[in-house]
Amino acid sequence: MIKKIFHCTLLMVMVISANSTSGVGSDVRETPLVRAIKRAKLSVVNIHSEKKSKNKDAFGSNRKINGMGTGIILDERGYIVTNYHVVDGVDALRVSLYDGSTYTAKTISFDQAKDLAIIKIEASKALTVMPAGTSSDLMLGETVIAVGNAFGYEHTVTSGIVSSLSRDVEVNDKQSYSDLIQTDASINPGNSGGPLLNLDGEVVGINVAIRAGAQRIGFAIPIDDARKVISRLLNIEHLENTSHGLIANDVKSGETRMLVVDSTKKGSPASKAGFKPGDIIKQAANKKIVDGADFERALLDHKVGDAIKVQVLRDEKLETVELTLAAVQNKTAPKNFPIVRANNDLDEADEKLWKQLGLRVDQLPKNQLHLVAPRYRGGMRVTKVRPGSTSEENGILEGDILVGLHVWETINESNISYVLDHPQIEDFNPLKFYILRGNETLYGHLTLSSSDD
């Protein structure tokens, strides 16, 4: 049955107090650690999740399990990185910022093997992006700071040192990590996905695990490794069906941090634009570029045919190259993380949606996006409901706008296809759905079926 969504927020805030900048001793009290936290604190978010237990209680209901984690703001438009295990299998995500404002979040993409995920909120203002450092020059004994949602105490700050580098850690038979940073800065449940900072207030790692039964043994993914994964998770080819065709490498060694062109795909926009091996990309779409993650996010929200000005350093001279984005052709799936499906799969996806859920849908045109703004990026309008189907039984009507399945948004057919083809689809059964009807967001659960009966 369809139910109304009610938004309620319970905040448990531990305030990071700023030392007074006036009075005797203020210069002494405002240590490098305090200054680092001041620089980074606005870019740390607290994540609260909700999912239903697979086990029923004494009344036959699936009890709700509340989870918590932390995230790092990657882009002023609301893109946030966290650990995959923070968002895995959740029914709802809520993000709170340092100022106490709270938003509903959606999972955009993830890499389960690397335990990283991108979520997004539709904030009412431009967000403060976390200063990105490098893990290439971390030193044993260097002071580091962890900030996170420890046991639900939001924005908890702890400090310690780098205890070891290049640790390989096996959490269980399904999850292991390599080359982690070990720290004795206290990391607790809820810190997952939060930043490990240096004294410059730059993120040098993403907190990911603790040693059970030990004291002050925590681990973080080196930020240089994480940023390479983030670049793939933000790739415009997989998120927006636009293509640039540039192949480039992150080069990071201490203060040397740059994105260097390796090659271009044959016939791609980057090839036509004239990028050359060895070009150092300095700026794209008026955004400073340090690595591949910066480059991908600079191209987000641009359309096919848009001409992007890219500044490169070539033979020690700055030059401007014009990159005209193209539509994706013959897209193939990368390993380990979800993407949008290729256009030639859409007919098959339509039939699967009809067979399994009993729905026909059309993508909401751009001139009707105001019907879902500002909370959603788009949706699929229901054009037909099969009599006797699970969708009809759960009250979905023609004209409703489908905006989400499980933890993913449904902006186009490809998003729906991804959910229905997910290898863990049986674990999602019954499948949670979200629709807009007028000004109300409604939700319910659909029993999956593979037949027309």
pLDDT, one tens digit per residue, over 278-298 is: 999 999 999 999 999 999 999
Shared domain check, 116 and 49: yes
All residue ranges of the chain with pLDDT < 70 are 1-26, 54-62, 330-349, 366-367, 373-375, 449-453
Domain presence at residue 185: yes
- Say yes or no: 294 and 380 in one domain: no
Residue 222 and residue 246 in one domain: no
Instruction: Answer yes or no: is 3 within a domain.
Output: no
Query: β-strands 218-222, 242-243: how paired?
Result: unpaired
Q: Please report the sign of the dihedral spanned by the C-alpha atoms of residue 96, residue 97, residue 101, residue 104.
A: negative
pTM over 0.75: no
Computed from CA positions of residues 404, 408, 409, 415, in that sequence, does the dihedral angle turn out positive or negative? negative
- What pLDDT, on a 0 to 100 scale, did the predictor assign at position 3? 58
Out of 163, 192, 231, 391, the active site residue is 192
- Say what the pLDDT of residue 397 is: 92
The verdict on residue 2 lying in a domain is no
115 carries an active-site annotation: yes
250 is catalytic: no
The interaxial angle of helices 346-357 and 413-420, nearest 10 deg, is: 60
The answer to the question of residue 451 being in a domain is: no
3-state secondary structure of 341: coil
Please pick, among 43, 49, 75, 85, the residue that the annotation labels catalytic: 85
Q: Is 22 a catalytic residue?
A: no
List, as one string, the DSSP characters of 217-255.
-EEEEEHHHHHHHHHHHT-HHHHHSEE--EEEEEEEETT
One domain, residues 259 and 356: no
With 0-12 / 13-18 / 19 or more C-beta atoms within 10 angstroms meaning exposed / middle / buried, residue 324 is: middle
Contact 203, 223 (CB under 8 A): yes
- Residue 352: per-residue pLDDT: 81
**Residue 43 tokens, joined:** 């870019």
Q: Are residues 422 and 388 in the same domain?
A: yes
pLDDT the model gives residue 65:
83
Q: Is there a single domain that holds both residue 352 and residue 316?
A: no
Query: What is the span of the domain harbouring residue 425?
Result: 343-446
Burial of 296 by CB count in 10 Å (0-12 exposed, 13-18 middle, 19+ buried)? buried
Q: How far is CA 236 from CA 181, 219, 436, 442, in A?
A: 30, 30, 27, 30
Residue of 115, 224, 225, 291 with catalytic role: 115
Q: Residues 221, 244: one domain?
A: no
Q: Under a CB-based contact definition with an 8 Å cutoff, are residues 218 and 187 in contact?
A: yes
State both tokens at 157. 């700050």
Of the candidates 226, 259, 286, which is a domain's last residue? 226
Give the side-chain half-sphere CA count within 13 A for 409.
22
pLDDT score at 212: 74
- Residue 346 is predicted with a pLDDT of 44
The whole-number pLDDT of residue 422 equals 80
Are 23 and 103 contained in the same domain? yes
List the CATH number of the domain containing 105: 2.40.10.10
- DSSP-derived secondary structure letter, 130: P
Say how far apart CA 105 and CA 408 lie, in whole Å: 10
**Do residues 218 and 246 both lie within one domain?**
no
Same domain, 51 and 150: no
Cα torsion 245, 246, 247, 250 to 10°: value is: -140
Which of 263, 293, 327 lies at the terminal end of a domain, its last residue? 327
Are 439 and 389 contained in the same domain?
yes
Are 163 and 148 in contact by the 8 Å Cβ rule? The answer is no
CA distance 436 to 219: 41
Structure confidence at residue 234 (pLDDT): 95
pLDDT of residue 83: 96
The helix (run of H) or strand (run of E) holding residue 187 is none
- Tell me the residue length of the chain: 453
DSSP 426: G
Domain assignment present for 233: no
DSSP 327: E
Please state the domain count of the chain: 4
Dihedral (Cα; 244, 246, 249, 255), 10-degree rounding: -70
Answer whether residue 207 is part of any domain: yes
Q: What is the CATH number of the domain that holds 274?
A: 2.30.42.10
The last residue of one of the domains, among 200, 226, 252, is: 226
Tell which residue, 343, 154, 364, 327, has the closest CA to residue 242.
Answer: 327
Question: Does residue 363 share a domain with residue 292?
Answer: no
